[in-house]
Copies of this chain bind each other. A is one copy, B any other.
């Protein structure tokens, strides 16, 4: 009985408020989110991931802890896995022509490379995007691979797809980007397409559509496309199937 009582005291001390009527996420080692914030922020995340929210510049103040727990926790990893499983199943069912014209387009940031280490020391999306400090991080070329992204990337190559990397990063970041991709385990891409001088000031959705159009005009069939932003996937010359990866840290139009 004494043991039960001690256990009980620990539970009562560490646990949530039992009178809370709603959803409470229990993560024993982590700060417990209030139920109302969890509900609000889960719903906010829904609107972000479905593109209902439209343009936004930073994570709402009350959702910063939520985003931190999400992006460093099991759910983000599990969602990345789930989307990758969808994409791999689709890709395996495609009859590859063997002429190298079957293509897949990947975005890079938050699709193949993770900038979570950068955002972890820069407020987890709570601050307005700071280009100078982000560019310093890019030059370090130490972003780790998103593990399911690397697995899909390798499987697509084995299946015979030509891989296009299409990123909003600038041409001046080509060398750092190549170095980082190789550091993280990526190799043998067909082409790495970055924003040139003439693409400056173009919306990402338009820039990426134009580049997909060029890929199609060169004779490729874009079977699939993976990106963490809707602007990676929508517009014109869209892939036959698009795979939206989660990202509650930032929005790109």
Contacts and interface: CB of A to CB of B under 8 A. Distances in A.
Interface stretch (A76-84, A123-131, A155-163, A213-221): A76-84
Contact of A78 (B5, B11, B27, B39): B39
Interface in A1-46: 4-5, 8, 11-12, 16, 18, 22-28, 39-40, 42-44, 46
Contact of A54 (B5, B24, B50, B90): B90
B79 A46 contact: yes
A140 to B, nearest CB: 30
A46 B46 CA distance: 9
A26 B23 contact: yes
Interface stretch (A169-177, A184-192, A194-202, A241-249): A241-249
Contacts of A86: 47, 52-54
B47 A83 contact: yes
Interface in A66-84: 73-75, 78-79, 81-83
A28 B23 contact: no
A218 B198 CA distance: 39
A51 interface: yes
B52 A49 contact: no
Interface-central residue, A50, A74, A81, by most chain B CB under 10 Å: A50
A52 B18 contact: no
Contacts of A51: 242, 244
A82 B49 CA distance: 12
A8 to B, nearest CB: 5
Nearest to A15: B11
Contact of A22 (B52, B74, B244): B74
Given A39-B78, A86-B54, A241-B54, A49 B47 contact: no
A52 to B, nearest CB: 5
Contacts of A241: 54
A87 B52 CA distance: 8
A78 B83 CA distance: 24
Given A40-B78, A42-B75, A26 B28 contact: no
Contacts of A22: 27, 74
Contact of A246 (B4, B8, B24, B46): B46
A250 to B, nearest CB: 17
Among all A-B residue pairs, the 4 with the closest Cβ atoms: A43-B82, A50-B244, A43-B78, A8-B8
